[in-house]
Structure 1
Amino acid sequence: MNFQDIKNLLTLKFGENSILKEDTSGLQPILTVASAQLAIICQELHENPQTYFDYLACITAIDNGPEKGTMEVIYNLYSIPFNISFTLRTELIRNKPEEPLPQLPTVSHIWRTADWHEREAYDLMGIHFTGHPDLRRILLVTDWEGHPLRKDYKLQETYHGIKVAY
């Protein structure tokens, strides 16, 4: 099964509106899906005997900055039995730091490794994964303010009396 076959399978199952964009210009093609349907699309890719993406290699989050007003979450999937790699992407509205965090449904119930990947994206980028069983900071201390990989992050001058900004 190739990229186009997978795209066709998802379009037939979830409709034209679930697939927002495809990018075949890079080394690995990317399919952009609606964030509201991300978890059910991932479930299908994992459970469908034609695809069986049994391995979530990585979840990456990108902040496109306040000017563009979006964030991206990218999922690198792999099917060990079929030796197929697949990249799935979704885009979120980027909220201001004082507003509630952007939200995306968890896929940790599909791939256990998503637990830590989602916690890292939450900790560093400020993306809230709804339904996650244990969404808490994984790299920073629990009382750290903000999410340091966001483009509008303001570094604290001190943390518990220790100077952290230069």
Structure 2
Amino acid sequence: MQADPNANLVAQRLREWNVRAVESVSEFCGEITIAVPRELIRGAADRCRQDATLHFNLLSDIVCVDRFPLEPRFELNYHLTSIPRRDKVRLRVCLSGDDPVVDSVIAVWPGANWMEREVFDLFGVRFHGHPELRRILLPEDWEGHPLRKDYPTEGFR
């Protein structure tokens, strides 16, 4: 479904920054999602935060979806909020199951620290440039990543 004018503004500003920054724009139930190539996520995030017109000053959450057995296997959704503009947008990045690595956005939003650690801990997605990427919920010696769809329901033995 074609997105509303606000989504087009975000997509337009991202395209002005880099013509490859926007793979697609969609709207569902009034929520805008902009698909971004994984190699451009940090720059796109920085553009969304620093652009005076957009001013997405809050990263509300990073959500990971395991689409196993489909490829690309993982989908990361960055939920951004502009408090001054009362606006929201979601940036989506897809990652292959063979190479679930994406740049960290901690330099853009320091609050991403624990969100990225949670996604790493539960799904095994690695964030390049994260200053302290380690487990946050599970013990350090835990085997595997329990929210992956191929994780054994009875656990490892």
Give the TM-score normalised by structure 1: 0.86
Matched, 1:2 2:16: no
Q: Which amino acid aligns with 1:141?
A: P
Distance in 2 separating the partners of 1:25 and 1:115: 28
Residue 76 (str. 1) matches residue 79 (str. 2): yes
Extract unaligned runs of 5+ from structure 2.
none
Distance 2:141 2:109 in 1: 28
For 1:32 and 1:67, how far apart are their aligned partners in 2?
A: 17
**How far is 1:147 from its partner?**
0.4
- Decide whether aligned partners of structure 1 residues 67 and 41 sit closer, same or farther in structure 2, where only a CA change above 3 A counts: closer
Residue 104 of structure 1 aligns to which amino acid in structure 2? V
1:70-93, CA deviations, whole angstroms, 9 ceiling, x for partnerless residues? 210000000111111111101001
Match among 118, 137, 142 for residue 139 of structure 1: 137
State the Cα deviation string for residues 69-123 of structure 1 (Å, max 9, x = none). 421000000011111111110100112xxxxx51000001111110000000000
Matched-pair contact (CA < 8 Å) for 2:66–2:148: yes
Residues 57-96 of structure 1: pairs in structure 2 closer than 5 A: 57-95=60-98
Secondary structure of the structure 1 residue equivalent to 2:56 = coil
Instruction: Give the CA RMSD over aligned residues.
Output: 1.3
Greater Cα radius of gyration, structure 1 or 2: 1
Give the number of aligned pairs: 151
Q: Aligned partners of 2:91, 2:29: CA distance in 1, in Å?
A: 14
| Aligned equivalent of 1:14 | 18
Contact 2:7-2:25 at 8 Å conserved across structures: no
Partner of 2:31: 28
Structure 2 distance, partners of 1:69, 1:76, is: 20
CA contact (8 A) 1:108 1:132 kept: yes
Q: Which residue of structure 2 aligns with residue 156 of structure 1?
A: 156
Deviations 1:43-72 (A, max 9, x none): 111111111111100000010002444210
Between the aligned residues of both structures, percent identity stands at: 32
